[in-house]
Amino acid sequence: MLDLAGCELSPQERALLAHPQCGGVILFTRNFASREQLTQLTGQIRQANPALLIAVDHEGGRVQRFREGFTRLPPMASFEALYNVAPEETLDLLKDTGWLLATELLACGVDFSFTPVLDLDFKRSDVIGDRAFSADPVRVAVLAGALIEGMHEAGMPATGKHFPGHGWVTADSHIAIPTDTRALDSIRRQDLVPFAQLARQGLDAVMPAHVIYEQVDPLPAGFSPYWLQQVLRGELGFEGVIFSDDLSMEGASVAGGFSERAQSALSAGCDMVLVCNNPEGAREVLGYLEQADLTLSPRLSRLKGRIGPLQDRSRQQRTAQRLAELEECAHE
């Protein structure tokens, strides 16, 4: 899965997307000007290669790539205060939020968002912070589960991140190589709980963290057969797609060059690797994959967005109003 430079395809990008080892596109804010333009861009991507998955990081709060013409989604941490006083109302709102998030993206040709964040908010990680639902692992599973239920209702798969948990480390894996010093028992009692619970409830995909859990394995989770095959697949029984996090991030540099990073991630158990903001790195990985003659995982076909119920304008408006009120309360 690779990225694009702007709001329409260049001839070079069109040729790159037709490469047999290209399996998807991830969109960023630089690829968005309006809903109409976004719909045209996803149409161009489909013309270049109908099999491609089209994804985006569209979580809410500070991680929402498309804004103009889309409902403003609050950070997921906003829902916990409401849950404390009105749990059933909160779960209903989260289900509607997942449905709305998915409905708006699907209408523009985007297959799925890399959401929800299942990390715990230990009040240590600035890069996670209010992207997390809570510090309580059981509560994270319940709240994220409601969001996922709404996404599924609209026809969109959900991706939990960042396995087995990015909330404890203070370093940002975009620019550093974070190390988590906790024992495995601690991680099992805390961070793994949402992943374990939601794996049993139909979570469609998982993205591992570029974090080294030094008391467990010397490799970052995304390059670790122990974490991906023994724990995620074996112990948790997860049968969905495993995406690498972006191989251009500093946290991935321990694996070597881009070809080595891709090889390590795929050997560890990833079904698809992401290379973003580095066109040369993306081309290097495509060249390596072509030589390796790898085939696309059959799991990936499950992530194609499905057209859900017809647009429900009243539900959209009602949910948007409730979300605006929630965010306003959070700022008071």
Phi, psi of 31 (to 5 degrees): -95, 5
Residue 309 burial (10 A CB sphere; 0-12, 13-18, 19+): exposed
β-pairing, 58-60 with 63-64? antiparallel
Q: Which residues are annotated as a binding site for substrate?
A: 57, 65, 131, 161-162
Please identify which of the residues 130, 191, 245, 271 carries the catalytic annotation: 245
- Is 210 catalytic? The answer is no
The amino acid that residue 32 corresponds to is: F
Which among 187, 237, 234 has a CA at the least distance from the CA of 212? 187
- Is 174 catalytic? The answer is yes
Q: Which residues are annotated as a binding site?
A: 57, 65, 131, 161-162
Residue 195 burial (10 A CB sphere; 0-12, 13-18, 19+): buried
Q: Which residues contact 202 (CB under 8 A, 6 or more apart)?
A: 148, 152
Q: How far apart are CA 140 and CA 215, in angstroms?
A: 25
CB atoms within 10 A of CB 186: 14
The residues that are catalytic are 174, 245
